[in-house]
Amino acid sequence: MTAIACSVAPAIANPVATVTWHEVGDAGQTLASVQQTSNPNGSSQPLTTIAGNLESGTDADLYMISIYDPAAFSATTVGTTGFGDTQLFLLTLTGQAIYLNDDADSGTFFSTLPGGSPLGPISAGLYILGVANAGYDPVNAFNELLFDIGLFTDVRGPAGNLQPTSLAGFTDNTFGFGAAGDYTITLTGAGASVPEPASLLLVAMAGVGCTLGSRRRKPAGTSADTLAA
Ligand SMILES: [Ca+2]
Ligand SMILES: [Ca+2]
Ligand SMILES: [Ca+2]
């Protein structure tokens, strides 16, 4: 295992460090291959950024995070550089839809899961944060969309009358416009799914790791899935 994922950059004027989780290999797009995140600062400290890459128009990346302050939770790709037409969505740990956004407003293709939304998470706990191309949409076992349909700029909740309600895959509605590229997700109210440094050994054994201060990406040519959990 060589690719490692965390970096910590203490702020000079701000006592809260920014902590970035860097995608290790390719984060999975199934419930069985959700990528854990970790924070060497401990469970009560924020995970402020997730940085990764969509390798194709049909790559979706799922990350497990801990939302410790549901009212303050938000996630956005607005204001970042890189991959341009994201959609972001939040799922329960068992893959039920919570909320999704494609475009934060009519002037951007970047996405925001807003804080304080009536559709947002209610209780603290572990959740799955997903990122994909706009139109590469999560579905259930019958290929039914997990999220309500709506305008590109809508914040959308779970689809009604869905059975089963959990994630089973994705359907490609990108019509060939899906693209590959880097993304950066900025978070509030959220921490890592593996909060304690002592847990890192278990994460490493599962194929996901974290080394302080490293920003090194997966070496080019390394099989994308060999390091995913
Ligand atoms: Ca990826
Ligand atoms: Ca992926
Ligand atoms: Ca978008």
Compute the distance from residue 179 Cα to the ligand 2 centre, in Å. 13
Compute the distance from residue 163 Cα to the ligand 3 centre, in Å. 27
**pLDDT in tens for each of the 229 residues of the chain?**
334 465 666 544 445 678 999 999 999 999 999 999 998 877 668 999 999 999 999 999 999 999 999 999 999 999 887 777 999 999 999 999 999 999 999 999 999 999 999 999 999 999 999 999 999 999 999 999 999 999 999 999 999 999 999 999 999 999 988 889 999 999 999 999 985 554 444 444 444 433 333 333 333 333 322 223 3
Ligand in nearest proximity to the CA of 174: 3
Ligand in nearest proximity to the CA of 183: 1
Compute the distance from residue 28 Cα to the ligand 2 centre, in Å. 4
Ligand in nearest proximity to the CA of 109: 3
Compute the distance from residue 137 Cα to the ligand 3 centre, in Å. 12
Compute the distance from residue 58 Cα to the ligand 2 centre, in Å. 8
Residue 196 pLDDT: 57
Compute the distance from residue 14 Cα to the ligand 1 centre, in Å. 31
Domain 6-205 falls under CATH 2.60.120.380: yes
Q: What is the DSSP string of the chain?
A: -----EEEE--SS-SSPEEEEEPPS---SSGGGPEE-B-TT-TTS---EEEEEE-STT-EEEEEEEES-GGG-EEE-TT--S--SEEEEEEETT-BEEEEES-SSTT-S--EE-TT-TTS--S-EEEEEEEEETTEEEE-TTS-BSB----TT-EE-BPSS-SS-B--EEEE-STT----EEEEEEEESEEESB-SGGGHHHHHHTT----TT--PPPPTTS-TTTT--
Residue 45 pLDDT: 83
Compute the distance from residue 21 Cα to the ligand 1 centre, in Å. 13
Ligand in nearest proximity to the CA of 229: 2
Compute the distance from residue 13 Cα to the ligand 1 centre, in Å. 33
Compute the distance from residue 43 Cα to the ligand 1 centre, in Å. 25
Compute the distance from residue 29 Cα to the ligand 2 centre, in Å. 5
Ligand in nearest proximity to the CA of 76: 3
Per domain, the residue ranges of the chain are 6-205
